[in-house]
Amino acid sequence: MSGAHAAALLPGSDASTALGVLPLRSDSELAAARSDTTHDAALAAAGDVSAFERLYRGHLSRVHTLVRRMAAGRDTDELTQDVFVRAWQKLGSFRGDAAFGTWLHRLAVNVVIERFRSEAQRRLRLHDGDEIFETIAAPQRSGDLSMDFEAALAKLPDGAREIFVLHDVEGYKHHEIGTLLEISTGTSKAQLHRARMMLRRHLRPDDVGPTPRSGVRKHG
């Protein structure tokens, strides 16, 4: 099936309308869901559009959130659609060695990185922007720390934000981030520290407590 046909599975659509909170499930329910997802992935790889649509519906919310955070809201819906079109094209490479969601998230990270990759731009993004929180007004506290966190995250320099999302939110290790972003492990660690300090300064200027972490996922 063509990428255009796969894209049609993303109804025209502002992907954010599909965002929602999933209920907590027991271990047995999660195991059954993973089995169903692996089965659907196999069916979709063989050309079953209905199976692919189930995968899309089941993973849209988390992929959309990952893309939005990494790209600071730029082209989020377009990039999310690109992720699922790429997933359709590459389903044959999914072997079930890891959970389908892990495979899909790694693919999403690569799609975002490829969109914004430029050696000159990446070098600049990894080293500029320290003064950003000195020049913007102190935020009006919304009373909702998660909303303040998302707003602060979007204001980080691109390189620091990408590394923070990959490490502290998605659970990637520094050597994995280095491979993905084509930087050294030391640079990844330095940028993570930078991102945490900038977020802390923005969110808790009078508090030396830890930066909030949300939705951490583990990658082996």
Domain borders along the chain are 3-12+23-115, 119-203
Which of 106, 83, 108, 103 has the alpha carbon at shortest distance from 40?
Answer: 103
Segment 90-113 shows an average pLDDT of 89
pLDDT of amino acid 14: 37
Segment 8-32 shows an average pLDDT of 39
Gap between the terminal Cα atoms of the chain: 32
pLDDT of amino acid 10: 41
Segment 28-52 shows an average pLDDT of 76
More confident residue, 205 or 171: 171
pLDDT of amino acid 114: 87
106: pLDDT strictly greater than 80: yes
Radius of gyration of the chain (CA): 18
Question: Could you tell me if 172 and 105 are in contact, meaning their C-beta atoms sit under 8 angstroms apart?
Answer: no
18: pLDDT strictly greater than 70: no
CA–CA distance, 203 with 197 (Å, rounded to integer): 10
Q: What is the topology classification, in CATH, of domain 119-203?
A: Arc Repressor Mutant, subunit A (1.10.10)
CA–CA distance, 172 with 190 (Å, rounded to integer): 15
Question: Could you tell me if 105 and 66 are in contact, meaning their C-beta atoms sit under 8 angstroms apart?
Answer: yes
- Band of pLDDT at residue 3, cut at 50, 70 and 90: very low
Please provide the CATH number assigned to the domain covering 3-12+23-115. Answer: 1.10.1740.10
- Band of pLDDT at residue 33, cut at 50, 70 and 90: very low
Segment 11-36 shows an average pLDDT of 42
Name the DSSP class of 137. Answer: P
In whole angstroms, how far apart are CA 59 and each of 22, 96, 104, 120? 11, 16, 8, 33
Query: pLDDT tens digit string along 68-79?
Result: 999 988 889 999
More confident residue, 105 or 147: 105
Reduced to 3 states (helix: H, G, I; strand: E, B; else coil), residue 43 is helix
More confident residue, 19 or 126: 126
pLDDT of amino acid 63: 95
More confident residue, 135 or 45: 45
pLDDT of amino acid 206: 56
- Band of pLDDT at residue 117, cut at 50, 70 and 90: confident
pLDDT of amino acid 219: 56
Query: For all residues of the chain together, what is the average pLDDT?
Result: 74
